[in-house]
């Protein structure tokens, strides 16, 4: 009798979970049955919780789903079978009805043919350049490596001279130093000098040099050159086809500069306007050789792996002591001195 009471069904009480299964139950689960006969295992109850439909498309109806395509209403065949307009008349009719033409996602995004987005065969500066003596063992090893790579460099120089017969490395190095100096002077106010800067730097260099400068103040000054500029690397490569040639020349610049960077609140983030530093840089200049109106522009900067990275900028706000506190301390000292004198 006790087993029958424990196994009594709860179809009338459960409203949101109607499917109830009993372990070892021999009766059906129709609402008419009110009592179940449990088996020897007992009357343990297991409730089945329903899940929402997860939008899984059965493979059985894939043909019907393929046929279900939303097409524009066809009038005199102004739209093709695939639903995309192709002629100007089709697009005009769609504009009359206020329907924007669909986008074709297979289109190639626009890109700039006047410059590339990378450095082709980048120059690897020797470790300790600018510090190691030429007469040392390491300096002699670096000079031997330059001689072994001189043959490939001469071949690329000949390719440049096909388009620029009067090109020479020493003259180009001096012109590159002037372009470098003018570009950094205009960078202090790059928003007003945008047109001129695009004549001096490529699109890749524009994004690298102006990143984060919109709400900051840059102060830069050229002091002098420690060593004359030297061309250390020349490369010519093609892109898209064999006739579309780009030339890249790496120039070594060893100069003295003053650099200071302030945030939008006027706090000094990096450098100093009073401190002069020696700067050794390897600047890559690029041009589109087949362009009749070509010009050499700053493209990138090569940073050697052995150079120590600058620490991250930490902004600190220092609160200076007020002058009133100093005046109060002086008054207290004078009072104490008068008291001691009277005593």
> Residues 93-104: what's their mean pLDDT?
75
Measured CA to CA, the distance from residue 202 to residue 284 in angstroms comes to 11
Position 58 in a domain: no
CA–CA gap between residue 18 and residue 157 (Å, rounded): 85
% of the chain at pLDDT higher than 70:
61
Q: Within a domain: residue 212?
A: yes
Give the chain's domain count. 2
145 lies in the same domain as 36: no
162 and 294 assigned to the same domain: yes
| Banded model confidence at residue 10, pLDDT cuts 50, 70, 90 | very low
Q: Residue 248: its pLDDT value, please? A: 94
**Listed residues 10, 36, 51: the one ending a domain:** 51
Q: Are the CB atoms for 235 and 120 separated by under 8 Å?
A: yes
pLDDT of residue 49: 54
Q: What is the Cα–Cα distance from 271 to 259, expressed in whole angstroms?
A: 6
The answer to whether position 34 is within a domain reads: yes
In this prediction, residue 31 carries a pLDDT of 45
Supply the pTM of this predicted model.
0.60
Look at residue 104 and tell me if it is in a domain: no
Does some domain include residue 90? no
User: Does residue 102 or residue 284 have the better pLDDT?
Assistant: 284
In a domain, 180, yes or no: yes
> Which range has the worst mean pLDDT, 40-44, 208-212, 321-325?
40-44
Inside any domain, residue 148 = yes
Domain that holds residue 203: 137-302
> Once rounded to an integer, what is the mean pLDDT over residues 176-200?
93
Residues 45 and 180 in one domain: no
Instruction: Residue 279: give its domain's CATH number.
Output: 3.10.450.240
Instruction: Please indicate, yes or no, if residue 162 is contained in any of the structural domains.
Output: yes
| Terminal Cα distance for the chain, rounded | 109
> 248 with 299: CB under 8 angstroms?
yes
């Amino acid at each position: 009798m006790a087993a029958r009471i424990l196994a009594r069904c709860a179809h009338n009480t459960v409203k949101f979970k109607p499917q109830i299964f009993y372990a070892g139950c021999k009766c059906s689960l129709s609402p008419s049955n009110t009592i179940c006969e449990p088996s020897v295992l007992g009357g343990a109850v297991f409730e089945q919780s329903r899940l929402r439909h997860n939008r899984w498309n059965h493979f059985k109806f894939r043909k019907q789903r393929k046929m279900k395509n939303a097409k524009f209403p066809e009038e005199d065949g102004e739209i093709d079978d695939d639903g995309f307009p192709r002629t100007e008349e089709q697009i005009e009719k769609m504009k009359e009805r206020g329907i924007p033409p669909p986008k074709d996602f297979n289109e190639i995004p626009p890109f700039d043919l006047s410059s590339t987005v990378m450095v082709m065969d980048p120059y690897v500066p020797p470790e300790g350049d600018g510090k190691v003596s030429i007469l040392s063992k390491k300096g002699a090893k670096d000079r031997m490596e330059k001689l072994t790579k001189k043959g490939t460099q001469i071949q690329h120089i000949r390719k440049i001279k096909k388009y620029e017969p009067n090109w020479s490395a020493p003259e180009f190095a001096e012109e590159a130093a002037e372009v470098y100096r003018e570009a950094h002077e205009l960078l202090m106010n790059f928003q007003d000098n945008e047109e001129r800067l695009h004549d001096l730097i490529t699109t890749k260099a524009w994004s690298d040099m102006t990143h984060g400068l919109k709400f900051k103040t840059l102060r830069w000054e050229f002091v002098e050159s420690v060593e004359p500029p030297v061309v250390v690397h020349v490369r010519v490569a093609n892109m898209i086809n064999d006739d579309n040639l780009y030339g890249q020349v790496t120039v070594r610049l060893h100069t003295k500069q003053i650099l200071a960077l302030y945030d939008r609140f006027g706090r000094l983030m990096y450098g100093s306007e009073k401190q002069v530093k020696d700067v050794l840089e390897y600047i890559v200049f690029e041009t589109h050789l087949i362009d009749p109106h070509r010009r050499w522009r700053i493209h990138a900067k090569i940073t050697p792996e052995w150079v120590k990275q600058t620490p991250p900028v930490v902004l600190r706000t220092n609160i200076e002591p007020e002058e009133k506190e100093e005046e109060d301390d002086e008054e207290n000292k004078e009072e104490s001195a008068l008291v001691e004198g009277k005593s």
